[in-house]
Amino acid sequence: MRILMLLWLALAAPALAETIVLRPAQVFDGEAMHPGWQVRVEGARITAAGPNVASDGARIIDLRGATLLPGLIEGHSHLFLHPYNETPWDDQVLHEPLALRTARAVVAARATLAAGFTTARDLGTEGAGYADVGLKAAIEQGIVPGPRLIIATRALVATGAYGPKGFEPGVAVPQGAEAASGPELVTAVRRQIAAGADIIKLYADYRWGKGEPSRPTFSQDELTAATAAAHDAGRQVVAHASTPEGMRRATLAGVDTIEHGSAGTAEVFRLMAARGTVLCPTLAAGDAIARYRGWNGVEPAPAAVAEDRKSFALARAAGVKICVGGDVGVFAHGDNARELRLLAAAGMPVLAVLRAATAGNADAFKLADRGRVAPGLLADLVAVAGDPLADLGVLAKPVLVLKGGVAVR
């Protein structure tokens, strides 16, 4: 009876963290590539990494020909969105029931983790309320698989600035984020933090009407007050901004990262570099949207894609730190590595791209316990067949993913 019970427990229990030694062809430790390195994992942590690692009491995992990297960190996801060529954003926000969106998000979280992204900054549920709080709890409790999440909950927009738009003006239409203005904005920041927001997202600019260009939304005072309230609470702030003025105000307000930055100028990037504000260029979102509109990927690229690349080049020339986040959700969850490939194609050296997606994102998001392969850090690791320095395409299909020392793929 007892033996049967133990057997049943062994079969029913999820894969438990154990002591293992990983033997790949090379290890990228978040900074540099090290041929011949091995990595020892005890429980949830890395305990050794180097050319000669003790193998006593450990199960050896032979990863011949593979490269082992820190678990990748997604800087900009929307687990509650699915690709716009399946359903336009307006229809997702207006017509999809919350339970349907949550069920999709569970599947998206699993796909993200299986793709080797063991941490994700999820920047707004886009109308799905606070459902990310529950999803994050379900992942942490081991109910569903997914990356370690940093969540923004509803995100904040200036009153009237966001969408969906274009309805009878007297009717309240479901919105993709929470609207607030003036002193009420600080109240809303605090309410979102109390509800579970790990990070505050502010839309510093947006299109006021269909066909209009983006224009600044929040005033400098509003952005500064909201950012200070979030920072007081120990939360980072991310600003959606694509105009030079929106980016300038967000930078002066002290936000931690700026998302998109599509129309950034050399001047505003110099300001960001001087202030240490990080740019998340989200090249993959623009690329995906251009393809949904019929672009086949052949050069010359459409104007919007060319603008994103030009802005990214200006940012790099100014010495702005680059975060890696693709705005995944606009395109398929699990294809997160698309952003890394596009950053490299737009001129960023592959080694710098790998650093940015691991140690760089960890530093930008103040996650000192991950993003590198070093003793004491979380055993969040991904192994890919081949050498990503020769071909970033190998990141698309990991052969092994460990989260906290437990194999999830």
> Which residues are at the interface with Zn ion (CB under 5 A)?
327
What is the nearest approach in angstroms of Zn ion to the Cβ of residue 258? 12
Q: For 213, how many CA atoms within 13 A lie in the half-sphere containing its CB? A: 10
What is the nearest approach in angstroms of Zn ion to the Cβ of residue 61? 36
- Which residue's Cβ lies closest to Zn ion? 327
Q: Smaller CB distance to Zn ion: residue 176 or 371?
A: 176
Q: Smaller CB distance to Zn ion: residue 74 or 387?
A: 74
Residue 250 token pair: 């967000």
Pairing of β 38-42 and β 45-50: antiparallel
Q: Smaller CB distance to Zn ion: residue 121 or 370?
A: 121
Question: What is the gyration radius of the CA atoms in the chain, in angstroms?
Answer: 22
What is the nearest approach in angstroms of Zn ion to the Cβ of residue 40? 38
What is the nearest approach in angstroms of Zn ion to the Cβ of residue 289? 12
E strand or H helix at 45, and its extent? Answer: strand 45-50
* Nearest alpha-carbon partner for 313 in 353, 370, 269, 354: 269
Q: Smaller CB distance to Zn ion: residue 74 or 327?
A: 327
What is the nearest approach in angstroms of Zn ion to the Cβ of residue 14? 32
What is the nearest approach in angstroms of Zn ion to the Cβ of residue 259? 6
Q: Smaller CB distance to Zn ion: residue 327 or 339?
A: 327
Q: Smaller CB distance to Zn ion: residue 327 or 363?
A: 327
What is the nearest approach in angstroms of Zn ion to the Cβ of residue 163? 13
What is the nearest approach in angstroms of Zn ion to the Cβ of residue 62? 40
